A and B are shown apart, each in its own frame.
Chain A
Amino acid sequence: MNKDKAEKSMINKWAENFRKFEAGLNGESKSEFHKSRQNAFKIFSKLGFPSIKNEEWKYTNLAKFHKHEFVHASEIEEVKYKKEDIEKYLFKGFDHHLLVFVNGKYSEKLSCVGETENNVFIGSLCDLLKEKPELLDNVYKGENNTSAITALNNAFTQDGAAIIVPDNKVIEKPVQVLYLNGTQNEKVHITPYNLIIAGKNSGVKILTSYNSTFENVYFTNAVTNINADENAHVDYYKIQNENENAFHVHQVNIEQQKSSNVSSYSLSFGSQLARNEIIATLNDEDIDCNLFGLYLGKDNQHIDNHTMIDHANPNCRSNELYKGILDDNAHGVFSGKVLVRQDAQKTDAYQSNKTILLSDTASIDTKPQLEIFADDVKCSHGATIGHLDEEAMFYLKTRGIPTELANSMLIRGFVDDVVQTIKIEELKDQINHIIFDHLHKIEI
């Protein structure tokens, strides 16, 4: 088979999946919502999956992904969980609202949303659209999509987390969103579409985590849209802890209005291949945008972090800090673009990417890109790749600290500045635990 033919047959497989998906929708297939799905699928078919010839996918090869035939989550039998089954996947120690999604579909039974004030919505996208169909316009505009995999999500969108905070409301308790992915036997295609809308002067903290109770391969194909209106304050945490065979591709679109403050924490642990993409658009003045990231890789994991911050207006600040530890044959990618457009005077943009390689066969491709078209700006960026500091190691050992423990101390020291930025105090130790657990190192 030549390349074009292979490509065609691949698209055909997904088209077949899409037909089955449509057939299962019954009446809904005539809705407005579904028209945008169909439109999205067209875009997907036209674009096709990105290859490594695509500059944005240069270091992330999907060949292994294409070897699998996936079945959409709507086609498979529901995986049943009891409350006690999910307990260990939750972050604890603080009051929270809880939304649980099983293979992308909302589980009312497992979720637990505390009392909220009028007009606050914390629930599933399905329920939201039933209540407020006019919000559909906010959901997505398929035609603006330039990423095939995002278009694929849009084509198969069924459900996802929806959090709507009206003007002048601050939701005190964090909203915890748990995604339980995968099944025993099927290779499931999971398409959560999450919507977070924070009104003027509002505030909300969202803590999402992607997990699996199975070992089988699956494909998480997620999209999250965050809109922060004037002076809104949004903290968005994502803990990607999929199983070791999973493919995880997630695009987060952040739209910020005047004086808003959004902090994103992308903590990536699981998956055989993960692509965490964030696009932040700063639509007005006096905006703060903070992107923090940690990525921990081992075995043959491939972890790709792609970020883009678009400074289109004056007097905004962006701060980006991504740190990673890669062991064994793990491969990392960091591509961080900061665009400062001509009008964006007095921009303050800081970016840093640091990676520690724990083995000789781990590697990272790091590509910071600062594109500045304004003249009165303060921008800096830096990328470092290294090993654990040998002199620091010697220092610790001369104090009687055994090698393994010294390793852990240096690892903890390395991730410390990212962990310390986490604003939910109780979360810090739990993240620390995942770090050491994932790397199979002594926890300290």
Chain B
Amino acid sequence: MLKIKDLRASIEEKQILKGINLEIKKGEVHAIMGPNGSGKSTLSNILAGHEAYEVTGGTVEFEGKDLLELEADERAREGIFLAFQYPVEIPGVNNATFLRTSLNEIRKHNGEPELSGKEFLDLIKVKMVEIGLPENLIQRSVNQGFSGGEKKRNEIFQMSVLNPKLALLDETDSGLDIDALKIVADGVNKFKNDDNAVLLVTHYQRLLNYIVPDFVHVLYQGKIIKTGGKELAYELEEKGYDWIINDFKEVESV
């Protein structure tokens, strides 16, 4: 589904990604962990098409298409979804209108008929209950004045309504209480099937108890320095990153 080869990127002249290689296949869940500032959000933002970052090398293929050629909105219509680490507040833009516009743009692209207001409401009612999104949030401005946890739930709610092929979840677990974490994880697990894939960024092994990854990658200074199975997350929880970073430095200096 997604093939990233030697991806390099910078922002404001500062090199942040220094050669990322990663392949995600249908049906897989990948977790990316790594210290603060290592480039995790940068990678998710670039995959989603943020224009502030300059891709200085490498390729990204999504479902056989050159992803880097596409604008953010085209990528979304092709099936990429980014759940933001910091969801943006948009005053004056109604949450329901926004999501319906979004869903209908994607449906049009897929050759499906647009949903009427009524059909849309029927669809989201079910999902809202599933994700435990308070009903009033849907009639408020997008994310405006939402609590941290509500913003994260709103992201997962959008994901479940839009049903993308590849979901990039950037620290969707941070800021959630334990119950909310379970609900969000349930949402992701319900969404997950053999035809789609998830790339999730997290700092905590806790989330991976609920959403079991097929692969865990450690990103450090713009490179994936270790890849393992779900046990790697336990090891990181116990020992931190130093041992991997030290191994990596030794290899680098050789």
Contact = CB atoms under 8 A, between A and B. Distances in A.
Interface of A: 389-392, 394-403, 405-406, 409-410, 412-417, 444
Given A405-B105, A409-B101, A399 B158 contact: yes
A398 B81 contact: yes
B105 A391 contact: no
Nearest to B75: A398
A396 B49 contact: no
16 contacts: A389-B88, A390-B52, A391-B88, A394-B51, A395-B84, A396-B102, A397-B73, A398-B84, A399-B73, A399-B99, A399-B102, A400-B102, A409-B98, A413-B92, A413-B93, A416-B92
A17 B162 CA distance: 67
B71 interface: yes
B33 interface: no
Contacts of B98: 396, 399, 401, 409
A324 to B, nearest CB: 15
A180 B88 CA distance: 44
B91 A401 contact: no
Nearest to B109: A400
B91 A416 contact: yes
Contacts of B105: 399-402, 405
Contacts of B93: 409-410, 412-413, 416
B101 A415 contact: no
User: Can you list the 10 inter-chain pairs with the closest CB atoms, starting with the nearest?
Assistant: A413-B92, A416-B92, A400-B76, A397-B72, A399-B102, A413-B93, A397-B73, A395-B88, A400-B105, A400-B77
B227 interface: no
Given A402-B105, A405-B105, A409-B93, A397 B76 contact: yes
Given A396-B73, A400-B76, A403-B73, 14 more contacts: A394-B49, A395-B88, A398-B76, A399-B98, A400-B102, A400-B106, A400-B162, A401-B102, A402-B73, A403-B71, A410-B93, A413-B91, A413-B92, A415-B92
Interface residues of B, number: 33
Interface of B: 48-52, 71-73, 75-77, 80-82, 84, 87-93, 98-99, 101-102, 105-106, 109, 141-142, 158, 162
Nearest to B86: A391
Nearest to A400: B76
Contacts of A444: 101
Contacts of B82: 398
Contact of B72 (A389, A398, A412, A413): A398
A402 B84 CA distance: 19
Contacts of B49: 394, 397-398
A392 B90 contact: yes
Given A394-B51, A395-B87, A413-B141, A401 B73 contact: yes
A334 B72 CA distance: 36
A444 B92 CA distance: 13
Contacts of B158: 399
Contacts of A397: 49, 71-73, 76
A282 to B, nearest CB: 30
B217 to A, nearest CB: 22
Contacts of A396: 73, 90, 98, 102
Contacts of B142: 395
A94 to B, nearest CB: 23
A417 to B, nearest CB: 6
A414 B88 CA distance: 15
A395 B76 CA distance: 11
Nearest to B84: A395
Contacts of A401: 73, 76, 98, 101-102, 105
Contacts of B88: 389, 391-392, 394-395
A444 B98 CA distance: 11
Nearest to B82: A398
Contacts of B102: 396, 399-401
B90 A413 contact: yes
B90 A395 contact: yes
